Amino acid sequence: MKLDQVCFRTSHLTPSWTMESYRSVGGYQVLESVLKNKMRPEEIIEQVKNSALRGRGGAGFPTGLKWSFMPRRLPGDKYIVCNSDEGEPGTCKDRDILRYNPHQLIEGMIISGYAIGAQTGYNYIRGEFYEPIERFEAALEEAREAGYLGRDILGSGFHFELHTHIGAGAYICGEETALLESLEGKKGQPRYKPPFPAGYGLYGKPTTINNTESLASIPVILQYGADWFHELGTPNNGGSKIFCMTGHVNKPGNYEVPLGTPFAELLELAGGMRNGNKIKAVIPGGSSTPVVPGARMMELEMSYDGIGKGGSMLGAGSVIVMDETTCMVKALQRIAYFYYEESCGQCTPCREGTGWLYRVIKRIEEGQGRQDDMDKLVHMAENINGNTICALGDAAAAPVISFIKHFRDEFQYHIDHGRCMDNTA
């Protein structure tokens, strides 16, 4: 298993985030060659398609295909927007890309702008990321000085300007159209689709929104080739991926490993289970993805398709590991509170339903559960699922349905006895 080949490829250098360090691993060579050789944008898009790079923000949509939706020949403004509004519980990889390898993201964004015909890019970074914002801004300054940004870059005739935009605390802005609204200075409320951003995006102009990790992967894909990247992973699951190993592991951290790596290996990389405890459950892709029982998880591969086999999703690669001491009712209560707190309030099922879910789970946790509560929760969750503009409703429903499915006994015990099973905290 090879580590840190793509987004973290400067991680062995100190400091890793400077232009100098980035150049020393081959940084900006791809951009220079693309511009010098006037590489055809279609060819870049083709390569990204062939790399089987899938959106690293959670949805896993093929990046090259997304780029191909852009009407790149349409005259007028077009935008590339990077989604660095990282906030899915369990996810903290983009923060490290911004802090430790910002130039690779910048190079990726310039190339993507070139490929999709955008002359302006915005990197939407969540407002709490003070340090990553500073690092990214400093890197932008270096890139500008080096002539990688601005008008007529390296004499190629290609113009591209890249700006940082900052958020102010709203998970929903990680949803791409909510992010656009927020970038326009409004509340982050997702837009209904169609129209899709590629047709009607930022300021009503064609726009592509990609995750930080996806965009940071671009220079490496073009440098070593789509096949190389693809072969790092498994078919249809190209490349390596950063996994945020959090929760009850000995060495929590971000691990960039090839897609398809068995979970068991990843767990070992993260030092194994804390205190030698037994693994009880894993949320493999961030709080929005269904929970998987520990034993089942030990059999799965860390890839989009691999996790799919376990009835969950790879999401953003945010692996939340829970050991046998975890009260699943309490864990679900905390997750449900998150969606209640972060619902934008626009759609009825999510606005009203997330609070209802949370309150019922809280009641169970506090020993006031009723016998019909579990059925009610599942039914409610199913009624939210699929009935809202964006996926936050689905995200709120998935944990409820999966926790109750896999840990029904524990919920039942809470309802019957008003407290946790003996072996949990």
Partner 1 sequence: MVNIEIDGIPLKVDPTKMIIQAADEAGIDIPRFCYHKKLSIAANCRMCLVEVDKARKPLPACSTPVSDGMKVFTDSKVAVNAQRSVMEFLLINHPLDCPICDQGGECELQDLSMGYGEGISRFTERKRAVKDKDIGPLIQTDMTRCIHCTRCVRFGQEIAGIKELGATGRGEHMEISTYVEHSLVSELSGNIIDLCPVGALTSKPFRYKARAWEMQARPSIAPHDAVGSNIELHIRKNEVMRVVPRDNEDLNESWLSDRDRFSYLGLSSEDRLSEPMIKLDNQWQVVDWQTALDKTVEGLKGVISKFGAEEVAGLISPTATLEEAYLFQKWLRGLGTDNIDHRLRQQDFTDTDVDDSLSDWQLADIDDSDAFVLLGTNIRAEQPIIAHRIRQAALAGATVSSINLFTRDLLMPVDRQMAVNSPQLVQTLAGIAKALLAAAKQEPEDWLDLLPERAPSAFEHNVALQLSNAMNATLFVGDLINHQPQASTLRSLARLVAELSDSRLVVLPSSNSNAHRLAGSMPADKGLNARHCWERALRGYVMMGFDPLLDTAQPTIVHDALRRASFVVSISSFESDWVRQYANVILPMACFAETSGTFVGIDQRKQQFAGAVAPRGDSRPGWKILRVLGNISKLKGFDYISSQDVVDEIESPLRELKRGSKTGFIPDSLNLESDLMLISEVPMYRSDSLVRHSKALQQTPESRADGFARINQKEADKRGLDPQHEVVISQDDRKVSVPLEIDNNIADGCIYLAAATSVSAQLGSLFSQVQVMKAGRE
Partner 2 sequence: MTQMLLTGPKEELFSDALREQMDTWIAKYPEGQAQSAVIPCLHILQDANGGWLSRGIMDALADYLDIPAISVYEVATFYTMFELEPVGKHKISVCTNISCMLCGSEKIMNHLQQKLNIKPGETTQDGQFTLKEVECLGACVGAPMMLLDRDYHEYLTPEKIDNILDGLAS
- Residues in the interface with partner 2 (CB under 8 A) total 57
**Cα gap 55→158, rounded to integer Å:** 26
Q: Residue 50 or residue 387: which is nearer to partner 1 going by CB?
A: 387
Can you name the residues that pair with 237 across neighbouring β-strands? Answer: 234
The rounded distance, in Å, linking the Cα atoms of 205 and 208 is: 10
Q: Which does 404 bind (CB under 5 to 8 A by kind): partner 2, partner 1, none?
A: none
Q: Quick check: 193 binds partner 2 (CB under 8 A)?
A: no
Whose Cβ is closer to partner 2: residue 93's or residue 230's? 93
Report yes or no: 280 and 326 within 8 Å, Cβ to Cβ: yes
Q: Provide the minimum distance between the beta carbon of 231 and partner 2 in the complex, in angstroms, as a whole number.
A: 28
Closer residue to partner 1, CB minimum distance, 186 or 417: 186
The correct pick among 296, 334, 351, 376 for binding partner 2 (CB under 8 A) is 334
By CB under 8 A, the residues from 248 to 287 that bind partner 2 are 248, 252-254, 283, 287
Comparison of 245 and 396: residue with beta carbon closer to partner 1: 396
Sheet strand arrangement including 207-211: 161-166, 120-125, 79-84, 207-211
Identify which of residues 334 and 363 has a Cβ nearer to partner 2 in the complex. 334
Q: How far is the CB of 290 from partner 1 (least distance, A)?
A: 17
Cβ contact 282:305 at 8 Å:
no
- Residue 87 interface partner, choices partner 2, partner 1, none, CB cut-off 5-8 Å depending on type: partner 2
Determine which residue in the list 54, 94, 191, 381 makes contact with partner 2, applying CB under 8 A.
94
Q: Looking at 184-274, list the stretches that DSSP marks H as alpha helix, in order from N- to C-terminal side.
A: 212-224, 226-232, 263-269
Q: Quick check: 182 binds partner 2 (CB under 8 A)?
A: yes
CA–CA distances in Å: residue 357 to residues 53, 202, 287, 371, 385 = 35, 34, 15, 15, 13
The alpha helices in 76-211, defined as continuous H runs, are 93-100, 102-116, 130-145, 176-183
Closer to partner 1 by CB, 57 or 353: give it. 353
Up-side HSE of residue 137: CA atoms within 13 Å toward CB? Answer: 10
Kind plus residue range of the DSSP H or E element containing 357: helix 348-365
Residue closer to partner 2, measured from CB, 94 or 301 = 94
Of 106, 97, 184, residue with least CA distance to 144 = 106
Query: Residues 20, 43, 131, 375: which binds partner 2 (CB under 8 A)?
Result: 131
Please, are residues 117 and 70 in contact by the beta-carbon 8 Å criterion? yes
- DSSP label of 234: B
77 touching partner 2, by CB under 8 A: yes
Query: What residues make contact with partner 2 under the rule CB under 8 A?
Result: 77, 86-92, 94-95, 120, 122, 126-131, 163, 165-171, 182-188, 203, 244-248, 252-254, 283, 287, 318, 320-322, 326, 330-331, 334-335, 338, 341-342, 344
Binding site for partner 1 (CB under 8 A): 170, 187, 192, 194, 340-349, 351-356, 359-360, 363, 376, 383-384, 386-389
